[in-house]
């Protein structure tokens, strides 16, 4: 889930817990397989595969699962599915703009499941192009504040990444997001590695140009819809232009 501020940190923690259930494992492995199919099985020459592997390892996906996914994707081992990326556009509660990215081997199944989840939970699908113009593709690197033996500051990150193309650093509380143009993602990630700064994820994501502030009722409905969509096997990413204030987040936590 992406497209909001400090709530991203909470969702990030939730993703780590979800990974233990296995559903997140399957999605991360699928990412690795597709990256290998698109750009070859050598991570040193395929930055997308490199980042997909790093993300899988950060979520404790077993190395055997990652290796097999690389082999299936690159054709060194049989059994890989023909996955296609499909982006659905829609609106959630309170008019929140949503992009729902699916990676599927069955477009009809993905479309039906996404449509059903949206219409039953206060959302609706929209025509292609009616929502996507509200987002721009950006490189986003998530860096934990507390690292082994040190605390990383905003100044540390700016110093390490500005020349590599970083546009801004957002404080999420327990982590930072380093945002750049999508084309500068690899350079920014590499600059962090050179500076000895660890990161949790490096992805090209759709970032909203403006955000809708949600009250408690709308926030509860929106997060419920996101959880239901994320539980679908074909859904890989959800991007939305909502924001939840610390006050509203605290009220939701009380419930």
| pLDDT tens-digit map of 216-242 | 999 999 989 998 998 898 999 999 999
Question: Is residue 66 over pLDDT 90?
Answer: yes
Question: Is residue 10 over pLDDT 80?
Answer: no
Domain span(s) for CATH 3.30.70.980 in the chain = 84-130+214-254, 134-208
The answer to whether the CB of 145 falls within 8 A of the CB of 6 is no
- Among left, alpha and beta (phi > 0; psi -120 to 50; other), residue 159 is alpha
| Pair of tokens at residue 8 | 């991203």
**What is the DSSP code string of 160-192?**
HHGGGTEEEEEE-SSEEEEEEEGGGHHHHHHHH
Just give the CATH number of 134-208: 3.30.70.980
Contacts of 48 (CB under 8 A, 6+ apart): 35, 38, 39
Q: Can you name the CATH fold of 7-74?
A: Arc Repressor Mutant, subunit A (1.10.10)
- pLDDT for 94-124, tens place per residue? 999 999 999 999 999 999 999 999 999 999 9
Average pLDDT, whole number, for the chain?
A: 88
Domain span(s) for CATH 1.10.10.200 in the chain = 7-74
The answer to whether the CB of 159 falls within 8 A of the CB of 147 is no
Question: Is residue 129 over pLDDT 70?
Answer: yes
What's the rounded mean pLDDT across residues 58-73?
Answer: 91
- pLDDT for 146-173, tens place per residue? 988 889 999 999 999 999 999 999 988 8
Please name which of 1, 3, 60, 5 lies closest in space to residue 228, comparing C-alpha atoms: 1
3-class secondary structure, 63: helix
Q: How far out from the chain centre does Cα 102 lie?
A: 12
Please name which of 213, 165, 156, 168 lies closest in space to residue 187, comparing C-alpha atoms: 165
Question: Can you give the C-alpha Rg of the chain in angstroms?
Answer: 18
CATH of 84-130+214-254, one of 3.40.50.300, 3.30.70.980, 3.10.580.10, 3.40.718.10: 3.30.70.980
76: confidence class by pLDDT, cuts 50, 70, 90 = confident
The answer to whether the CB of 29 falls within 8 A of the CB of 66 is yes
The answer to whether the CB of 50 falls within 8 A of the CB of 39 is no
pLDDT for position 244: 86
* Percent residues over pLDDT 70 in the chain: 91
pTM: 0.83
The span from the CA of 171 to the CA of 249, in Å, is: 17
């Amino acid at each position: 889930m992406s497209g909001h501020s400090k709530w991203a940190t909470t969702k990030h923690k939730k993703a780590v817990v979800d990974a233990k259930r296995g559903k997140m494992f399957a999605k991360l492995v699928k990412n690795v397989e597709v990256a290998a199919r698109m750009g070859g099985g050598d991570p040193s020459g395929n930055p997308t595969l490199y980042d997909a592997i790093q993300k899988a390892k950060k979520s404790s996906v077993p190395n055997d699962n990652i290796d097999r996914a690389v082999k299936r994707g690159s054709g060194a081992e049989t059994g890989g599915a023909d996955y296609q990326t499909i982006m659905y556009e829609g609106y959630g509660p309170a008019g929140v703009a949503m992009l729902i990215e699916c990676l599927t081997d069955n477009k009809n199944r993905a479309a039906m499941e996404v449509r059903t989840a949206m219409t039953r939970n206060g959302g609706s699908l929209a025509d292609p192009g009616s929502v996507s113009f509200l987002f721009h593709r950006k490189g986003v690197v998530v860096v934990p504040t507390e690292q082994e033996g040190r605390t990383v500051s905003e100044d540390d990150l700016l110093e390490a990444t500005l020349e590599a193309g970083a546009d801004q650093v957002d404080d999420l509380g327990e982590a930072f997001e380093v945002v750049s143009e999508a084309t500068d993602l690899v350079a920014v990630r590499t600059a962090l590695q050179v500076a000895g700064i660890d990161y949790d994820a490096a992805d090209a994501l759709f970032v909203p140009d403006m955000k809708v502030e949600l009250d408690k009722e709308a926030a509860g409905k929106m997060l419920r819809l996101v959880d239901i969509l994320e539980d679908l096997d074909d859904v890989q990413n959800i991007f939305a232009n909502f924001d939840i204030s610390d006050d509203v987040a605290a009220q939701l936590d009380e419930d």
